[in-house]
Chains A and B, each alone.
Chain A
Amino acid sequence: VQLLESGGDLVQPGGSLRLSCAASGFTFYTYAMSWVRQAPGKGLEWVSAISGRESTIFYSDSVKGRFTISRDSSKNTVYLQMNGLRVEDTAVYYCARSDEVRFLEWILWGQGTMVTVSS
């Protein structure tokens, strides 16, 4: 049972990046998935979440309109498409699993992927 993030990279301000979180060892479509980030020297910040059936999607105000979360149950993967990246989006991005979006029982986490936004 694990989550494996990928896609982190160095990108210029205004650029785009797509993060992936591949799930294995559990019934992917039954769980809600979230993205949580931690900027260097800062605390944890929730970014986005998607319910198990894709019927409900949430974004933090800081990324709304720029980031898009999606999931592909055929590939057991959740994505975070990040457009219009800003320097302040620099962070380690984690994906995490929970039973429901509103219940923050994130027991299973990925190892994190680093996104650096810099010119």
Chain B
Amino acid sequence: QSVLTQPPSASGTPGQRVTISCSGSGSNIGSNYVYWYQHLPGTAPELLIYRNNQRPSGVPDRFSGSKSGTSASLAISGLRSEDEADYYCAAWDDSLSGPVFGGGTKLTVL
């Protein structure tokens, strides 16, 4: 069981906006930055959002992140077929002295 809680699946149609939630606690999300990764089978994960809401260069502005208290969310607008992937949230956990991940959300583009 993961320290951070994500829905196991999400779906949307092309062009739609979808949101993936990530719930944690005061020792992780509540006191540290949240990061989001996209992971396609057979490839290395890709950083989508860092420090709660910042996008690395090259990541489309269709991807956005937010954080409130001990929860965070990733929003994907203008959904595209290539967005079909697994998405993970991550944060440093002060109690565990290490990073923790969510269990991952499999996004399906219908």
Contacts and interface: CB of A to CB of B under 8 A. Distances in A.
Contact of A109 (B44, B90, B98): B44
B37 A44 contact: yes
A63 to B, nearest CB: 11
B47 A43 contact: no
A14 B62 CA distance: 47
Interface string A75-119: 000000000000000000010100000111111011110000000
Given A46-B99, A109-B44, A112-B44, A102 B37 contact: no
Interface stretch (B10-18, B66-74, B101-109): B101-109
A34 B92 CA distance: 13
A106 B98 contact: no
A104 to B, nearest CB: 5
Contacts of A111: 44
A106 B44 CA distance: 10
Interface in B51-85: 51, 56
Nearest to A112: B44
Contacts of A36: 45
Contacts of A29: none
A59 interface: yes
A38 B39 CA distance: 11
B98 A46 contact: yes
B96 interface: yes
